[in-house]
Amino acid sequence: MKLMQLTIELTVGFFTLFIVVKVIGRKIINQITPFTFITAIVLGEILGNGLYDPNIELATIVYSMCLWGLLLLVVEYFGQKSLWFRGIVEGKPAALIANGVVNREELRKHRMNINQLQSLLRQSETFSIREVAFCYLEANGSISVLKKPQYQKTTLEDFNLLGKPAYVPVTLIRDGEVLWDEIKNLGFNESWLKKQLDSQRISNYKDVFIAEWQEGDGVFVQTFQGNSCL
């Protein structure tokens, strides 16, 4: 009788977990944000503890898993609708290295030391800090690395050509909202931004899904309709 009950609970738990993961999306697999990382752990704990605790009914297991999945969907929904809420939930990438210089203040802020930074760089096939132009700590704890031109896989030195400085793209508009702090840091203003958008026949910030600026390449814009232009 116990084996039959366990079989039923495992089967129902398996398909419930499958459905919850499919509804939440693939982000839970890659654990893109802290919330998806926590969700992966909690769902496993709910299912595991519930199956082997005789005092917990099957309906309680299913309800708990569905409720946790629903809460994550609510958080994701508000994160899509509000940049302010998204910033609280997901945070912003931290520049651990900028223009080839390690930002010690950012390391202290994220409770990291130079040894841990070097370890993360080695996992990204970067074995010396001198190779790095920019390094960002992402919300899920991974790092993104932009190497200096002379250290990139296909190096300009192979062709006896002079390297160009490495520049990181800066987001100007995201989800129809202008990031004025980023624009001011670049030394630009609202009239400059309007001029850039007017040149691409865009009159309203709200029409822009993403806009990036990069030294030497200008402004890249993609609208909500999927049109992109430089």
155-188 pLDDT, tens digit each: 555 666 566 676 777 888 888 888 888 888 888 8
Cβ–Cβ under 8 Å, residues 96 and 136: yes
Cβ–Cβ under 8 Å, residues 141 and 127: no
Structure tokens at 200: 């691409």
SS3 193: helix
Strand partners, 215: none
pLDDT at position 156 is 54
Determine the Cα–Cα distance for residues 37 and 57; give it in Å rounded to an integer: 26
Q: How confident is the model at residue 222 (pLDDT cuts 50, 70, 90)?
A: confident
Contacts of 112 (CB under 8 A, 6+ apart): 96, 137
The pLDDT > 70 percentage for the chain reads 87
Better-predicted residue by pLDDT, 215 or 132:
132
Report the alpha-carbon angle 26-31-34, nearest 5. 130
Based on the number of CB atoms within 10 Å of its own CB, is 148 exposed (0-12), middle (13-18) or buried (19 or more)? middle
Determine the Cα–Cα distance for residues 144 and 127; give it in Å rounded to an integer: 14
Determine the Cα–Cα distance for residues 167 and 217; give it in Å rounded to an integer: 10
| DSSP letter assigned to residue 56 | S
